[in-house]
Amino acid sequence: MKLDRTRQKMVAQMAIMAATDVRILAMPMEAIVLWQRLVWAIIDMGTDGVLAFGNATGCTFAALAQYRLFVSETQLETYVATWAQNLAITYNPATGTLGLPSALMPSRRAIASRENGKKGGRKPKNSNPLPQDDPRQRTAMMPITGGKAMDPETRSETQELQRAPIAKLASTSNNSEAIADTRAEKPTVSDEAYHRAGRAAFEAAGFDPARSVATYGIVRQWLADALAGGLTEREAERLIVATVRKGTERAVAANKTVTSLMYFSKSVPEAIARRDVPDVKLTAEEMIAYKAARREWAKASQHTDVGPVPRAEEFVGRGRSAA
């Protein structure tokens, strides 16, 4: 199958997103394959990254599930609802349209170029070009032999000038490789931290696990952003939970309903940027254990290297037994 350049670029971006985006990497392997098939169906059958259902397009939800994803219609509806919440795709039930995520949508320039191509392309700017600019010109004037020959000194200077851009380019390339080598790797979020923070955020938003269809997949992205900003997993968890709890309280006061953690997709990143980490609240027993650990660390550090200073967040839930 031959694809135009726009679709080739979209397919390449889909492969990169499937291999790097934490929302996709958090899915089970079967779900990742189904997501790729759905995205390819939107690229293949849709227009400008949007696939519409109905008689006008000849595509139905059931046909898409049966012939493109090889799952039942109910399974596809469940996957689409989950992916739409995580912004892995866009879905508008009112208009009956499926769309690509924002990272895969074609640019306005690509859309405009395709429309211009349908109209025959752009007209040449100069309808009467000079002979040297005319593509119909198949011959060129050749230099006339004769004249003064270049002396050795001038020839040497000319060769040095010609080699200078090449040397500069090589130096730039080496610098780029050095920068790439020293670039720090992105922090990874452990599954334990992801599920712990996700369940805590789920509870802070007031969702009922037995009834709600919401998921906490977006929490993994929030944790990754917080770790990249220099926070620890515990600090990031406290920040996310506190922000979700405050936002839920404001929504309840304004008679608004929170149906998904995507409701906080703006407030949580803003809190991460501000490093708005709430203080650790320890019980009396946890405080005793924390202070005892600090005293032991202070004694041991006088004789040997014992590692970092104990942090208060490490003693949450440990109580007197940790003393």
Q: Considering the domain boundaries, does residue 120 fall inside one?
A: no
Average pLDDT estimate for 158-180: 50
Instruction: Find the domain containing 19 and state its range.
Output: 5-104
Average pLDDT estimate for 60-74: 83
Average pLDDT estimate for 295-318: 72
- Candidate from 9-23, 47-61, 63-77, 259-273 with smallest mean pLDDT: 47-61
Q: Considering the domain boundaries, does residue 151 fall inside one?
A: no
Q: Considering the domain boundaries, does residue 36 fall inside one?
A: yes
- Please check whether residue 313 is in contact with residue 235, taking contact to mean a CB–CB distance below 8 angstroms: yes
Are residues 198 and 228 both part of a single domain?
Answer: yes
Q: How confident is the model at residue 245 (pLDDT cuts 50, 70, 90)?
A: very high
Which pLDDT score, from 0 to 100, does residue 42 have?
Answer: 84
Which pLDDT score, from 0 to 100, does residue 182 have?
Answer: 41
Dihedral angle sign, alpha carbons of residues 71, 76, 78, 82: positive
38: closest CA among 91, 92, 114, 96?
Answer: 91
Question: In CATH, what number is assigned to the domain containing residue 19?
Answer: 1.10.10
Q: Considering the domain boundaries, does residue 155 fall inside one?
A: no
Q: In the structure, how many helices (H) and strands (E) does the chain have?
A: 12, 3
- Candidate from 8-12, 79-83, 116-120, 242-246 with smallest mean pLDDT: 116-120
Mean pLDDT, all residues of the chain: 75
Cα–Cα separations (whole angstroms), residue 132 to 137, 138, 139, 264: 7, 10, 9, 61
Q: Considering the domain boundaries, does residue 95 fall inside one?
A: yes
Query: Which has the higher per-residue pLDDT, 148 or 98?
Result: 98
Average pLDDT estimate for 272-300: 80
pLDDT digits (tens, 9 = 90+) for 23-55: 888 888 888 888 888 888 888 887 877 888 765
Domain end residue (candidates: 104, 136, 165): 104
Structure tokens at 15: 């492969």
Number of domains in the chain: 3
86: closest CA among 188, 228, 277, 215?
Answer: 215
Are residues 204 and 260 both part of a single domain?
Answer: yes
pLDDT digits (tens, 9 = 90+) for 201-226: 888 988 877 676 677 888 989 999 99
Q: Considering the domain boundaries, does residue 308 fall inside one?
A: yes
Name the percent of the chain lying above pLDDT 70.
Answer: 69
